[in-house]
Chain A
């Protein structure tokens, strides 16, 4: 997926969508807040969170500058929505892909179990954000006219690549959704998709141009994150081998008495609070074998599905709890600093932490009603 996104990015597709969305709401500041939130959430569900904010933030800064608005509310909305939207799908956030591959859950499992509640959470949080910052979101008709004069088509830098990217993205998404019938792992689908897009993009180019393009596509992969995964999985495997994870699961079962409701809510809130302050990737890497080894005592693998959804929701939504809760948060903070609207740790905490608690509370009700 990283390769596909890296290649697609060059076509200007994502900027096109963002500018198009802003114009759809007649460049009204509050409308832009709603649209940017929606677009960020949708991108985040399909791309990883850091890529999403890297694509969205420059467009947000451009539009708010033209409207003479402070970008602060929009940047915070981008952070919140990147974390919330990413929770909805298998490929949206690293914890989901980790849980998915460890437990053998597919694209549809995540879509059917998590996307509905993410829609509800968005319906609550987006209007809430518009309400909080409504006083700062006022623009004159002249400024709005300037944004309306933007031509989204100018964002498209490579029409041929755009067609190819859309074609491959559609194929990959279809294969993800048909995963049950095709019996293909998401990783296999992504790999084939990446190969196909690279093939189309490099077809009939000379060797040197091909080498340059392919080099570029691979160089932009998030190698740091991938090696971080590799290292962590080996370290967690060590804990498993010596029996530490089983020991921990045993203690946890003693505390919760094997009660599904208590266990699910402990995992949900525990992972939300933990993920707000520490990276959710190592946390989830440790939790996966822990939850797995609780399965026999709690009625087998099928019975513990609510625990996996609790873990996914807690770990992903928890990222909104503080500025260091997710790497996308820090990326946006970096942009904000340069744009002269710095996001401070405490300032973020004041909005982010209550908002995170609210979203986890909604998830709590959902898990209770649907699974327990």
Chain B
């Protein structure tokens, strides 16, 4: 079940999860328009190598 075995993979997992949680929190807070937050989160997710265009 566990996809992440290496140390680098594990830090990637936490990075991606923290990014996602931060994005989600920012969406809920409604301080910034949700579309801006989502695009920012998506961009950062790609920059840090967790997501890439299919």
Contact = CB atoms under 8 A, between A and B. Distances in A.
A30 B1 CA distance: 57
B29 to A, nearest CB: 11
Contact of A228 (B9, B35, B46): B35
A279 B19 CA distance: 18
A282 B15 CA distance: 19
A247 B1 CA distance: 7
A243 B3 contact: yes
B2 A234 contact: no
Interface residues of B, number: 31
A327 B9 CA distance: 38
A244 interface: yes
Interface string B18-43: 01100110011000011101111110
Contacts of A143: none
A140 interface: no
A231 B20 contact: no
Interface string A215-255: 00000000111011111111111110111101100100000
A289 to B, nearest CB: 12
B7 to A, nearest CB: 13
A345 to B, nearest CB: 14
Chain A at the B interface: SS class? helix
B13 A244 contact: yes
A234 B15 CA distance: 15
Interface residues of A, number: 26
Contact of A242 (B9, B34, B40): B9
Interface in A246-269: 246-247, 250
A241 to B, nearest CB: 6
Contacts of B23: 235
A227 B51 contact: no
Interface of A: 223-225, 227-239, 241-244, 246-247, 250, 278-279, 282
11 contacts: A225-B35, A230-B38, A239-B50, A242-B4, A242-B13, A244-B20, A246-B1, A247-B13, A250-B1, A278-B28, A282-B24
Ranked nearest first, the 5 interchain pairs of A and B with the lowest CB-CB distance are A231-B38, A243-B3, A238-B51, A234-B42, A238-B45
